[in-house]
Structure 1
Amino acid sequence: MSDYLEQARTYIDNLPPIGKAAVAGGAGFVIYLHYKWLSSRPRRSPYIQDFEKDLVYLCQFPRSNAVPNLSPFCLKLETWLRIADIKYKNVENFPVTYRSKEGTLPFIELNGVEYPDSGLAIRDLANVLQKQSLEAHLNEEQRSTAVAFEHLVEQSLWPAFLKFREQHVDELVALQPQLFGPLNKLYRLIARSLITSNTETKLFHNGIGKHSDENIIRISEEDLFALSQFLNTRHYLLGFKATKLDAAAFGVLAQIVYLPFDTPQKKYIETKCPNLKEYCDRIKNRYWPDWDEATKKFSMKSDWKRKPHSPGSIYNGSTTKSINGGSIINGGSIKNA
């Protein structure tokens, strides 16, 4: 089978551009129909019939071997569940054959009730599971700032980065070998055309895809600079305590920082905003101690254990200072003791 696929790939690579387009279009159409049939079939609701009371079930894309999920929204939701210390269980979805009632991933089920969309699921679960105390320390100005920065990372920075991430199609497909199950090898033959076309359509409707590459890079650099300046030397974006804003920011920034290829955004972080890399490492080390197991073994286990902060110390830039050393974090801002 592998020899046949390699011969097919060689044959396709030798075709003229119009031939490649025809093959990609035909194969993509066949795979799309098959996938659409699988994913749009009427499914039972709730999806988890024999659910455990008060256990959160997280439905998302399969793991990848660079970051736990190539979807920033899936990574955001799972990271928030860990920040909120909510007991949850990942639901196997190999290959991806089901989505929420809205047709999206991720979504959550709790006691037979579905909560679609990462942002809405976080909002609703915080109320249902009484996790409002996670952000009780924030004042109204900080809450408003959090909304603005969440929109910045998800509606501006993410599509700007997506433009350049999807140029590494072969690497991306290789990072997620379980995405389409037995169809994955066939999918890799036409992935370049299929993903490129799909991405361009998304970015065009978003609006950012209408700009030149130079302007898109500039937009993303402005977003990263704003994040970096706002973070400054804080432990998390709003202080010493992680919030849903950190889950959202990490969901996007982790894609930039940890994917194993260069992009303009990754180079900008490395040269101009190193505190964003340190910030990602901090969240990864604290809330993803099982990172290697998730990315190397594709483990969907959720029985992780949070790493505690070092006692008697706070983070300040790239160094850690003692509380007696003169700085503390109070209400999300840094003040002298």
Structure 2
Amino acid sequence: MCRMGIFGNSIQARVAGKGLKYLWNKSKPFTLAVVVVVGAVNVAYYVKRYQRRKKWNSVGQDIVVLHMFPRGRFCPNLSPFVVKLETYLRMAEIPYQVDFEEPLGPKGKSPWISLNGEEIGDSQLIMEMLGPKYGKDFSSHLSTEQLAIARAMRIMIEDHFLWSLAVWRFDIDAGQAFLNSIEAPYILRFVIALFRRRIVSASRVQGMGRHNHEEVVEMGRKDLKALSLCLGTKPFLTGDKPAEVDCALFGFLAQVMWNSAGSPYLQMLESECTNLQAYCHRIKERFWPDWGQCLNPPQSEIVQ
């Protein structure tokens, strides 16, 4: 019985081996063609990648190359973190150029920068690196209490309100205001639909997406109300002068102001929290005199 079993297994192995050999001989030309095509695509990708970096490195010493998603119709970008970082570059008067060819950086997120051959990701870490390098510190005059409040407000908006806005943008509104805010060909709209599902899934993993829509909106409203109360009648969050935190707050409030038509958050800025609306216009007028030219398509007049 044992010898018969071994004999039978041997026959099966030989038959399987011949079958695989037959399939390989039949599919070898196709397999080799696939390998060649994939190899060629990879080579072309790395050549193009090398050429892009060569171009970015040639812009000049200490000139920042800011990598981002395409411009929006009503706001320079649909990413609050892109608007945050670009506002900071303007506030600090750091020379920079914009790149749209490679929006995702070393951490798989946007924005990121190239500077003197180095690639750096995360808007906050970039700002904290650029400040000392260019001798820019807009918070040195603040007290420890003011610094603590600024940090608390920034984290509330970037780590909590972010998800309230994301749930409204991609789940409650199903991405309609988002699509209306960007010049998107049909194929890109399909990609955005996939991206939307990914964000909705991520919101559930994070936790915000597990609440019902009314609960999520109320959480976002409370964040905006807290920010409005903290701002009060001051021109900027920490006083008469803009600080780094204002870049972050403006990045998110700009999304509400110009990229969230019909949202309860925009309604709130137009009714209960008008000081946040005025705050947005104040920063835009001060650091974005070319706002209209930074839209897609460009506008000859500044869009309010």
TM-score range, shorter chain: 0.7 to 0.9
- The CA distance in 2 between the partners of 1:123 and 1:63, in whole Å, is 25
- The CA distance in 1 between the partners of 2:127 and 2:218, in whole Å, is 31
Distance 1:130 1:261, change over 3 A: same
CA shift digits 1:217-270 (9 cap, x unpaired): 111111011100000000000111111110000000110111262111111222
Match of 2:168 among 127, 150, 164: 164
Is it true that 1:125 corresponds to 2:126 in the alignment?
A: no
**Which residue is 2:38 aligned to?**
none
The residue matched to 2:295 in structure 1 has which SS? Answer: helix
The residue matched to 2:128 in structure 1 has which SS? Answer: helix
- The CA distance in 2 between the partners of 1:271 and 1:174, in whole Å, is 24
Kindly indicate which of the two structures has a greater share of residues assigned to helix: 2
- The CA distance in 1 between the partners of 2:274 and 2:181, in whole Å, is 25
Map 1:94-173 onto structure 2 (within 5 A): 97-132=102-137, 134-166=138-170, 167-173=173-179
Distance 1:57 1:196, change over 3 A: closer
**Which residue is 1:253 aligned to?**
253
- The CA distance in 1 between the partners of 2:227 and 2:270, in whole Å, is 14
- The CA distance in 1 between the partners of 2:174 and 2:200, in whole Å, is 14
Supply the AA of the counterpart residue of 1:156: H
- The CA distance in 2 between the partners of 1:211 and 1:63, in whole Å, is 32
Which 4+ stretches in 1 moved above 6 angstroms?
Answer: none
Q: Is the 8 A contact 1:115 1:124 kept in 2?
A: no
Q: Is the 8 A contact 1:53 1:111 kept in 2?
A: yes
Is it true that 1:187 corresponds to 2:205 in the alignment?
A: no
Distance 1:98 1:153, change over 3 A: closer
**Which residue is 1:68 aligned to?**
76
CA shift digits 1:26-64 (9 cap, x unpaired): xxxxxxxxxxx99xx554495623230111111111101
Cα deviation for residue 296 of structure 1 reads 4.7
The residue matched to 1:272 in structure 2 has which SS? Answer: coil
Give the aligned CA root-mean-square deviation in angstroms.
2.1
**Which residue is 2:19 aligned to?**
none
The residue matched to 2:57 in structure 1 has which SS? Answer: coil
Distance 1:128 1:280, change over 3 A: same
**Which residue is 2:196 aligned to?**
196
Is it true that 1:55 corresponds to 2:63 in the alignment?
A: yes
**Which residue is 2:262 aligned to?**
262
Q: Is the 8 A contact 1:64 1:298 kept in 2?
A: no
Map 1:30-45 onto structure 2 (within 5 A): 43-44=49-50
Distance 1:99 1:172, change over 3 A: same
Is it true that 1:236 corresponds to 2:236 in the alignment?
A: yes
- The CA distance in 2 between the partners of 1:173 and 1:79, in whole Å, is 23
Q: What's the TM-score, normalizing by structure 2?
A: 0.77
Instruction: Give the unaligned 5+ runs of structure 2.
Output: 1-40, 300-304
Kindly indicate which of the two structures has a greater share of residues assigned to strand: 1
Give the stretch that moved more between structures: 111-120 or 194-203: 194-203
Match of 1:81 among 84, 89, 104: 89
Cα deviation for residue 294 of structure 1 reads 1.2
- The CA distance in 2 between the partners of 1:188 and 1:91, in whole Å, is 21
Identity among equivalent positions (%) equals 32
Cα deviation for residue 100 of structure 1 reads 1.3
The residue matched to 1:262 in structure 2 has which SS? Answer: coil
CA shift digits 1:101-146 (9 cap, x unpaired): 11111011221122211000000111211212x2111111111111
- The CA distance in 1 between the partners of 2:132 and 2:105, in whole Å, is 20
- The CA distance in 2 between the partners of 1:296 and 1:116, in whole Å, is 25
Supply the AA of the counterpart residue of 2:91: I
CA shift digits 1:277-319 (9 cap, x unpaired): 00001011111111111125359xxxxxxxxxxxxxxxxxxxx
Q: What's the TM-score, normalizing by structure 1?
A: 0.69
Aligned length: 251
The residue matched to 1:62 in structure 2 has which SS? Answer: coil
Is it true that 1:274 corresponds to 2:278 in the alignment?
A: no
CA shift digits 1:68-121 (9 cap, x unpaired): 00000000000011111111111232xxx4521111110112211222110000
**Which residue is 2:31 aligned to?**
none
Larger Rg: 2
